[in-house]
Amino acid sequence: MRHIFWAGDSTVATNKASTYPQTGIGQAFDRFTAMDVAVCNRAVNGRSTKSFIDESRLAPIYDEITKGDFLFIQFGHNDEKENDPARYTEPFGEFKVNLGKFVNVARNKGAYPVFITSLERCLFDENGKLKPSAHTDYVLAMKEAGKELEVPVIDLFTMSRDFLEKTGDEASKKYYMNLAPGEASWAPEGKIDNSHLKYEGAMLYAGMVAKGLAALGGVYASLLADENLEKDTTTIETNG
């Protein structure tokens, strides 16, 4: 059995009934994997590369991961929080250094590291145009680290942003923990959530990650069920 260990934040994390219908990408990803692949989702809400390491969450991955496994590394959302010193990292400084620490954990155990850029937020302006992203520098920094460390990068940021621009404000709300047309508001005091995903969104973006693995080929594509190599996984229909 091969294992995908996933280190990341709330856009990836596995949710319980208490946060339904919120669903993380890592929680949905086993729908796309081959029968000999198990997903070990270690992503935790609210974590950055810094807080994940400082809370000793990387150490257990080092203990468990073995030769031939994979470590998917997806951070950025919380590294951006300049007013929170427990989580903030400078994109072209500490963020890249921390990414290297995740890579070392994988390679020291004979596993394959994979970088996945941040999921874009569903934020549109009053004219229905997708707003400029807060993720840009962290995406560029991760791509730089990928080149420097020879780690493959799946650019979920670009794929998700392209999808949102094409789909538009109202239609894209069905994928996020936002208020979709015709829905009763689930959020306390009408709070709008443009970052976290419903099941539909988790499946959509997990499909994009699968598409990225298929494009990488070789051992990365081998993680996927055969049927997911034969079709565009980003168009899979979801029924909630």
- Count of beta carbons in the 10 Å neighbourhood of residue 67: 8
- Residue keyed to tokens 């009763």: 184
Q: Is 135 annotated as catalytic?
A: no
Q: Which two tokens stand for residue 179?
A: 């208020």
To the nearest 10 degrees (0 to 180), the angle between helices 96-108 and 136-149 is 40
Q: 10, 48, 118, 172: which one is catalytic?
A: 10
Which uninterrupted H or E stretch holds 210? helix 199-216
- The count of residues in the chain is 240
Q: 18, 126, 150, 189: which one is catalytic?
A: 189
Amino acid at 101: K
Q: 3, 77, 135, 196: which one is catalytic?
A: 196
Q: Is 94 annotated as catalytic?
A: no
Q: What three-state secondary structure class fits 4? A: strand
Complete domains list, the chain, with CATH:
2-235 (3.40.50.1110)
The pLDDT value recorded for residue 230 is 57
Sign of CA dihedral 23, 28, 29, 32: negative
Walking along the chain (240 residues) 10 residues at a time, the average pLDDT comes out as: 97 92 95 97 97 98 98 97 97 98 98 97 92 95 98 98 95 81 47 84 97 97 81 48
The pLDDT value recorded for residue 34 is 97
- Distance between CA atoms of 25 and 157, rounded to whole angstroms? 13
**pTM > 0.85:** yes
The pLDDT value recorded for residue 240 is 35
Q: Is 3 annotated as catalytic?
A: no
The pLDDT value recorded for residue 19 is 87
- Distance between CA atoms of 171 and 65, rounded to whole angstroms? 40
DSSP label at residue 176? B
Identify the CA nearest to 122 among candidates 73, 200, 74, 174.
174
The pLDDT value recorded for residue 234 is 54
Query: How far, rounded to the nearest angstrom, does the alpha carbon of residue 92 sit from its chain's CA centroid?
Result: 20
